[in-house]
Amino acid sequence: MPAVSKGDGMRGLAVFISDIRNCKSKEAEVKRINKELANIRSKFKGDKALDGYSKKKYVCKLLFIFLLGHDIDFGHMEAVNLLSSNKYTEKQIGYLFISVLVNSNSDLISLINNGIKNDLASRNPTFMNLALHCIANVGSREMAEAFASQIPSILVAGDTMDSVKQSAALCLLRLNRTSPDLVPMGEWTARVVHLLNDQHLGVVTAATSLITTLAQKSPEDFRTSISLAVARLSRIVTSASIDLQDYTYYFVAAPWLSVKLLRLLQCYPPPEDAALRSRLTECLETILNKAQEPPKSKKVQHSNAKNAVLFEAIALIIHHDSEPTLLVRACNQLGQFLQHRETNLRYLALESMCTLASSEFSHEAVKTHIDTVINALKTERDVSVRQRAVDLLYAMCDRSNSKQIVAEMLSYLENADYSIREEIVLKVAILAEKYAVDYTWYVDTILNLIRIAGDHVSEEVWYRVIQIVINQDDVQGYAAKTVFEALQAPACHENLLKVGGYILGEFGNLIAGDPRSSPLVQFNLLHSKFHLCSVPTRALLLSAYIKFINLFPEVKPTIQDVLRSDSQLRNADVELQQRAIEYLRLSCIASTDILATVLEEMPPFPERESSILAKLKKKKGPGKVPDMDEARWNVNGNTEHSENTEPTNKAPSHPFTDLLNMNSSPAAGASLLVDVLSDLSSPAPTPTTGPGPGPTDVCEEHFSRFVCKNNGVIFENQLLQIGLKSEYRQNLGRIYVFYGNKTSSQFLSFSSSVTSSDTLKTQLNVHTMPVDPTVEGGAQLQQILNIECLSDFSDTPVLNVQFRYGGTLQNIAVKLPVMLNKFFQPTEMTSEDFFQRWKQLGVPQQEVQTIFKAQHPMDTDVTNAKVQKTASLYLKPLCGGGVGLILKCCNVSGFTTRETLNRSFNGSLNL
Amino acid sequence: MIKAILIFNNHGKPRLSKFYEHYNEDTEQQIIRETFHLVSKRDENVCNFLEGGMLIGGSDYKLIYRHYATLYFVFCVDSSESELGILDLIQVFVETLDKCFENVCELDLIFHVDKVHNILAEMVMGGMVLETNMNEIIMQVDAQNKMEKSEAGIAGAPARAVSAVKNMNLPEMPRNINIGDISIKVPNLPSFK
């Protein structure tokens, strides 16, 4: 007998559905639906009280309309009435409507909660189940608040029906996911663990799910579950299938529960207890053995269920990573699956092998399957499977097979699906770098990559090849020769042109001896592609040209002609125009020496984690990229790079900034200073009067760098770099703020402003020039701040930057390094005057003295200069209004310095 | 955790949608369309797993699906679920529907949405698997039907008259759409509109 008799429908509902299905057009359908909605609405609003049957019918209609994708904004109240009914049928439809349609922030929640509360208290298992389902399906915070404390007691009560226990376990699991803070841990936890011994396998399954989630959060509390889980698993695995009656699925004993138990065990390391451990190993071996037995049924369900358990067992073996024999057996089993006729098994085998490849015990065993995997990449019809094959090749790659794997991936790339090309490009780039025995191979590989899939080569990839070429002396000549040859192709990708422009600009001289690649030939080759490129590439090429002028004086007139042409000097693009003008002037007026200094070869990049790897991690999400073994990663340990690879780095502004910075302090002096000051500031009494440092999330990471420097980078994250250039004269200052967009997409609604505390506003005038609301990818925006110091101040203004990136609003606050010492001017006085003033400062609060050991040899001049410029900043809390400072610094004995700082009301240093 | 369960036909018409995480109405419809787009373009004998669409959470989620005659059954799950296990679950779901409706067909899902939801609720609750044993599920459904019958009384009378009328009103209703022997990869039966 069928469980649902087909005749029991509701007539009105059936008619309505048939009407909809007979509609010839979308418009007719919408019309019919609107008519029905109006009808239901009037019925619900009507004076006549509806009976349960009609309400149920209308609610069903609403459900159907909702499924068709129409918004339902009424009927909730009727649904709540239905669920409060005593009739099962009405209650059920009420709950159904609520769990399908009500979201967590409905204002009806309190009414619904009331109904649920009554049902939970009803002791009718069917009603309780409905209520628990509703809580689990809606899972809102209000519900968690109302019921989270009640459900554990239902779960562990001795007299609760099995089906209710099942629901209660999962309901609790759901609440623990949505509002973990509201689910109280307590004495029930120990009793939950004992549900693993329950008679009813459904209850055990639900409890295992619950315990797995709880154990991930607090492993210690649930450690006792290990032994129970192993015991249970062992009983299932070794039982004859008839023992478990209904839970045998196509001749496999309780597959679902086995999977859940194996998942639970993956929350813990291998059991320490030897007996327990050997029992678990026995289970795992039995599961592996069963895979070799002839199938008990030809049905695919049988093998599915069996393999579900097998894959989970293998996952546990890999997780434990401690039994070499099991690992190798697992690997062999997966190897069999790689050639299985079931596509699903091939897919899963490739996926599991990926994790297996990272185990030291089985890495070699995985490698033996390389040919099968490569074959899968070539012949598999399903893109999901091919993608897993790519992942596995990436995971199994090491020095011995890297050339083969990279070559195979490159050849696959030629006809790979567009959706996975970028990922393959990243993987090839990483493998090529990581396992490069010689860098010529690396350069060849990357250039091939650009040739085959130039559009999918992200900036990180071509930045990286340039970094490596710059850091590796021995590959520079080869790289120059190779890019030169690659550029000969009639059509080459813009990325290739970027790499080519950069490398020839740096190392073109290495191949200039050959008449086939003489300076002029190189230049003409690059310039022949110039007009086809986008603006950033042209800008990069202009930089390459000016580098050419330095490398090859003989082509100077030719290049100057190009720079002088109207299409450059009057280019509509500001960046190109500026570069052309500046480069032209530079080449005209600078002497050879200056040119050589300014246009010197790029220094090696500092070592960092590969940005390509970072990008791949970001793309795949953490944990999805098998972490590179440090030991295996060292091939290029010396070639890591920095983020400063934007083409604009080659713009003359960069070397100029360095020149301007020449009078700034040497690094050693700066670090000495910071040490001195941090020592000084900590014992100083903290004033209670001084205004606080501002909101806590204000970035002041690089703030201290600017104490005695005026230029540099004040803030940097993945998106944005903020650089400052500042100049001060008397009581006036001007700061140029440079906002660099590090991404490849636009920042929208960009705005920046400077905020000061109320006190500070009266002391310091900051005038901000407006900025452009969009910042293009890779572009830099400049903003000017004019500052006027009205009186002495101790607070710091904050620069607030706001912009929209990829739809999310970014808010950045940075402390602006405008300090009192920026407005200091020294004053000359005779020693008599000085000591006269010095002696006037006799009041005890006016003196603070600290003696400490210097960490570096003292250079009196440097230290004096630094301390004068900076000390007052750190001592500002000591100063009241209208304060100056007298500072004495004497070199007492060798490395001990004494500094005496006095507080006075007549500054010896002019403010 | 199961994030969503979707059933739609070969033309992308949704026949059941159950989300265990809250999305607004529009997004739900978009997810259904996106999922249909991803699943329907796949060949018959490729694997039953693929990475989820962007709307549902991208590569952190997997779509596990089966295609029976005119209907796609798609479960969207995260990495904490066993792929083959979910595949079995779909099978249990369909077998259960088949038992409850006697040779289930697409029309049964259309006209008995509430029943389908109830059967599903016996298997999956709040995104977690509640019960996998078909006999247990059917027992629960039977118990519910008994209660329904006993409550029917006078109010049920009009309902009983429906069966005759219902069939009259449906000239296009195909007879005996059999979903085959439910082993996967049913031979391509003629689909209906």
Query: Which pLDDT tens digit goes with each residue over A284-315?
Result: 999 999 888 888 888 888 888 899 999 999 99
CA atoms A70, A73, A76, A79: torsion sign: negative
Residue A168 lies in a domain: no
Do the Cβ atoms of B88 and A304 come within 8 Å? Answer: yes
Tell me the average pLDDT of chain A.
77
For residue A766, give both structure tokens. 């900051």
B166 vs A61: which has the higher pLDDT: A61
Of the candidates B88, B100, B98, the residue with the CA atom closest to the CA atom of residue B132: B88
Q: How many CB pairs under 8 A join A and B?
A: 232
The CATH number of residue A783's host domain is: 2.60.40.1230
Do the Cβ atoms of B172 and A21 come within 8 Å? Answer: yes
CB-nearest partner of A171 from B126, B144, B165? B126
Residue A774 lies in a domain: yes
Do the Cβ atoms of A620 and B16 come within 8 Å? Answer: no
Residue A852 β-bridge partners: A897
Beta-strand ranges (E) seen in A696-797 are 711-716, 720-729, 732-741, 748-755, 764-768, 780-789
- Min Cα distance A147 → chain B (Å) is 15
Residue A898 structural domain? 825-910
- Are A732 and A845 members of one domain? no
For residue A907, give both structure tokens. 């500054």
Q: What is the dihedral of CA A20, A21, A26, A30, to 10 degrees?
A: 10
**What are φ and ψ of residue A815, in 5° steps?**
-70, 125
Number of domain units in chain B: 1
| pLDDT value of position B149 | 80
Residue B152 lies in a domain: no
For residue A547, give both structure tokens. 């580098």
| pLDDT value of position A850 | 62
Residue B76 lies in a domain: yes
Q: Write out chain A residues lying below 8 Å of B47, CB-based.
A: 343-344, 346-347, 382, 384-385
Residue B188 lies in a domain: no
Number of domain units in chain A: 3
- Are A541 and A480 members of one domain? yes
- Are A837 and A745 members of one domain? no
HSE, CB side, 13 Å, CA atoms: give it for residue A262.
Answer: 30
Residue A726 lies in a domain: yes
- Are A467 and A600 members of one domain? yes
For residue A697, give both structure tokens. 């999330």
CB-nearest partner of B110 from A17, A135, A249? A17
Helix or strand or coil: residue A688? coil
Residue B121 structural domain? 2-147
Do the Cβ atoms of A249 and B88 come within 8 Å? Answer: yes
Query: Which pLDDT tens digit goes with each residue over B128-149?
Result: 988 888 888 888 888 888 888 8
CB-nearest partner of A347 from B47, B145, B156? B47
For residue A473, give both structure tokens. 């002396």
Of A612, A635, A654, the residue that ends a domain is: A612
Residue B182 lies in a domain: no
Query: Which pLDDT tens digit goes with each residue over B149-164?
Result: 887 654 545 555 544 4
Residue B50 lies in a domain: yes
Of A612, A629, A645, the residue that ends a domain is: A612
- H or E segment and range at residue B6: strand B2-9
Q: Write out chain B residues lying below 8 Å of A305, CB-based.
A: 84, 88
- The ipTM value here is 0.79
Query: Which pLDDT tens digit goes with each residue over A546-599?
Result: 888 888 888 888 888 888 888 888 888 888 888 888 888 888 888 888 888 888
- Are A472 and A567 members of one domain? yes
Nearest residue on chain B to A176, alpha-carbon basis: B126
Name the A residues in 30-69 with CB < 8 Å from any B CB. Answer: 51-53, 60, 63-64, 66-69
Residue B88 lies in a domain: yes
For residue A734, give both structure tokens. 């001007």
**Is the pLDDT score of A645 beyond 60?**
no
| pLDDT value of position B177 | 47
Nearest residue on chain B to A212, alpha-carbon basis: B80
- Are A829 and A881 members of one domain? yes
Query: Which pLDDT tens digit goes with each residue over A347-400?
Result: 999 989 988 888 777 888 888 888 888 888 888 888 888 888 988 999 888 888
Cβ contact A597:A591 at 8 Å: no
Residue A77 lies in a domain: no
Mean pLDDT is lowest, of A581-585, A614-618, B74-78, for: A614-618
- Are A540 and A608 members of one domain? yes
- Are A749 and A794 members of one domain? yes
**What are φ and ψ of residue A129, in 5° steps?**
-60, -45
Of A821, A852, A885, the residue that ends a domain is: A821
Length of chain A equals 911
The CATH number of residue B128's host domain is: 3.30.450.60
Residue A379 lies in a domain: no
Do the Cβ atoms of A15 and B169 come within 8 Å? Answer: yes
